[in-house]
Amino acid sequence: MFGSRRRSNIIPGFGLTMGFTLTYLSLLVLIPLSTLYVKASALGWEDLWGTVTSPRALAAYKLSFGASFAAAGVNTVCGFLVAWVLVRYCFPGKAFIDAVVDLPFALPTAVAGISLTAVYSETGWIGGRLAAAGVRVAYTPIGVAVALTFIGLPFVVRTLQPVLRDLDADVEEAAASLGASRWQTFRRVLFPALLPACLTGFALALARALGEYGSVVFIAGNVPMDTEIAPLLIMTKLEEYDYPGATALAASMLTISFVLLFGINLLQWWSRRHHQNAAA
């Protein structure tokens, strides 16, 4: 009995570290977020429902979640390609490109927004050429998606890189020696192993995009019912001293985001378990 008790406490300090963890998370995450629902409840049910389902709020939700999903999807595909090149190939300037991937982490979001607006506006280097072809980017929902794609790329690349490094290239060579085509090798060998990491990168990029504000407000145009994102609407409510309305919108964003991320995490868990069962 004494020996089993010692074996169950190999790592010392569990009680102290667990208490610190719960206290830390409560003070910085759980308690502040729970106050959103307390503040929002001051509106009453009818006013609360009317605020979070108003046409302007619904339009902001549609743009925020639609652009975030689009940006996360683009980043999942493009981020996979970037991570593949950085892991599987050696070429001049590789270290520089690898460092550039982290630039959205270090760059202030306002700087990113101003830079993207300058480049993608109708007078910009890229935006001018797109405008000549009939495609407007800046001050449209497309510009919102571009900004969210910019800030979300590192999450996918950095999530996939370690998984690709651990994936032995001999597996691909073995599949090729057995007559598998490149597409069959990717679909049956690489993709199942990389799917959980892809879902994780997608979820991280989505979560980052849903809360983005600084880089979007410059390129979006901020027109209500058209290019106004939900975080901007919350800021507008705060500037109008409508604190219950702002907290109601924030609580609705928090709830929807939590449900989406919880669903993605369940899908990731199922994918990982399915892959493990298939490998066994």
Other beta carbons within 10 angstroms of residue 136's beta carbon come to 14
Show the beta-strand stretches assigned E in the chain: none
For the chain, where do the domains classified as CATH 1.10.3720.10 start and end? 45-279
Q: How far apart are CA 259 and CA 273, in angstroms?
A: 21
| DSSP, res 241 | T
Domain 45-279 CATH class label = mainly alpha
Task: Give CA–CA dist 191/68, Å, rounded.
Answer: 23
CB atoms closer than 10 angstroms to residue 265: 13
Residues of the chain with pLDDT under 70: 1-12, 274-275, 278-280
Task: Tell me how far apart the alpha carbons of residues 86 and 73 are, in angstroms, rounded to a whole number.
Answer: 20
For the beta carbon of residue 153, count every other beta carbon within 10 angstroms: 24
> Using one digit for the tens of pLDDT, what is the confidence trace for 107-143?
888 898 999 999 999 988 999 999 999 999 999 999 9
pLDDT at 280: 60
In sequence order, the 6+-apart residues with CB closer than 8 A to the CB of 236 are: none
> CB-based contacts of 275: which residues, under 8 Å, 6+ apart?
192, 193, 195, 196
Q: How far apart are CA 204 and CA 198, in angstroms?
A: 10
**Element housing 218 (H / E):** helix 214-220
SS3 for 92? coil
**Predicted model pTM:** 0.84
**81-90 b/e with 16+ CB inside 10 Å = b?**
ebbbebbeee
